[in-house]
Amino acid sequence: MKTKIYITAIFILITYFYYCNSTKPNLVSVKKAKAEIMPKSGTNVFGSVTFTQIADNSIKIVVSVVGLKPGKHGFHIHEKGDCSSNDGESALGHWNPDKLEHSVHDKENSHAGDLGNITANHEGSVFQEIIIKNVSLSDTKGPVGKALIIHADEDNLKTQPDGNSGKRIACGIIRSN
């Protein structure tokens, strides 16, 4: 009888540890990351985007980009850190680990990579801060290693799967630093 209880207890412990390991994100220590933005689709868009972990589950993104048409441009994290193709399609679709729908950033209900729009001034420059929650730079399955894409048009935050934001006019791989 005692042996049976003992075996049951070990079984429960193993199940518990297995469950913890499979649900907890795999963490490394990354506090900052950066993407160098390079032009795509024949544009002249350049810049940089920095990522800073400002709380356990909150990231500040600072966008500094030039060479855009004035107005709003869809801005997303795409699933593959590959900017090699001239049209930016090598970065694949929006980063969407939870198989949710395209909308405004809110990891409970949207693609994790939905950062909304950036707005270029009359000179075509963007200096903008975006705060996103429920994402960690330390998570090995987080945004580091993925690609940032700037689109030609405004993201309407509704149309599936990409907000109808048009061509990919710039791309940058998010690297830890």
Interface positions with Zn ion (CB under 5 A): 94, 102, 111, 114
| CB 148 to Cu ion: min, Å | 9
User: CA-to-CA distance for 53 and 61, rounded, in angstroms?
Assistant: 9
Stretch that binds Cu ion, among 1-9, 74-82, 116-124, 129-137 (CB under 5 A): 74-82
When the beta carbons of 98 and 123 are compared against Cu ion, the nearer one is 98
Query: Would you say 115 and 103 are in contact if contact means Cβ atoms under 8 Å apart?
Result: no
Site for Cu ion in 131-150 (CB under 5 A): 149
When the beta carbons of 76 and 146 are compared against Cu ion, the nearer one is 76
User: CA-to-CA distance for 113 and 15, rounded, in angstroms?
Assistant: 32
Query: Would you say 88 and 149 are in contact if contact means Cβ atoms under 8 Å apart?
Result: yes
Binding string to Cu ion for residues 97 to 136, with x set by CB under 5 A, is what?
Answer: ----------------------------------------
Q: Which does 149 bind (CB under 5 to 8 A by kind): Zn ion, Cu ion, none?
A: Cu ion
Sign of CA dihedral 82, 101, 47, 87: positive
| CB 126 to Zn ion: min, Å | 19
List phi, psi (to 5°) of 107.
-55, -20
Sign of CA dihedral 170, 88, 108, 174: negative
Q: Which does 40 bind (CB under 5 to 8 A by kind): Cu ion, Zn ion, none?
A: none
When the beta carbons of 132 and 149 are compared against Cu ion, the nearer one is 149
Which residues does 122 contact at the CB level (< 8 Å), separation at least 6?
Answer: 70
When the beta carbons of 58 and 164 are compared against Cu ion, the nearer one is 164
Residues that bind Cu ion (CB under 5 A): 76, 149
